[in-house]
Structure 1
């Protein structure tokens, strides 16, 4: 017996991650937020989460929430208040977060802290935040859905060898 899919769950995470990689190449050290239509899960837009304005010696959840809010407003229409509930638009999009880092394909605190940042982002768009995915040189996994795969994965860093 299969259970119904939750609205934050991706039907085909590998396909979605490949689509995101086509728009925003997945490189180590970056965090990407992608907007998908809620009904078809087609990618509508993606953007890198900007780095903090100043180097941070520790994780600042308020700063991360602010940066996520800015990205959400770029990617998804702002709520118009014309929905079935007074003052609220219907939810039309799903926001997926992709953390690109070196290391093993397991979820760590580096991924989990983005859930708290989303919780307090107050982006007021017509989107719901979804799962956080980690992509490493070895493959990918979802933090909430626990599915994983070998592709896509981070591209190896290419360096130019010095002339002999």
Structure 2
């Protein structure tokens, strides 16, 4: 018998998103609000909808049928370095492989773009432990601050060296 709570990851469709739909706007607003509630302002690096519309950022949404399962974004820091932003799984899809599938998509796109390095920032608190485990499981290693980040005891930084596609 199949667990009806677990969608097959092969049923997940990941598409570039223009941020105009209500589901993605609601998911990202909830993400931003939770990050603001979890981290002090000086350590909160989640982007709001306006910031996610920066031309250097591409947002993807992940769908199981008509249901939004999650999202992630890729920001170009320079022609060889990208940053993962706004990784989020919809609450009803947590623990079902959505984050891993979105992360795999972002890594594949980064390779296609010719990035040699992909980095990210996440929190150091216990709340962020599942995210840190996800990134470590997928080959990311801890590093120091990159881009415009400064050292922060509430932030952890990760990077992944990429071979071009």
Same fold? TM cut 0.5:
no
Higher RCO structure, 1 or 2 (CA under 8 Å, sep 6+):
1
Query: Which of the pair is proportionally richer in strand?
Result: 2
Query: Which of the pair is proportionally richer in helix?
Result: 2
TM-score, with normalisation over the residues of structure 1?
Answer: 0.31
Higher Cα Rg: structure 1 or 2? 1
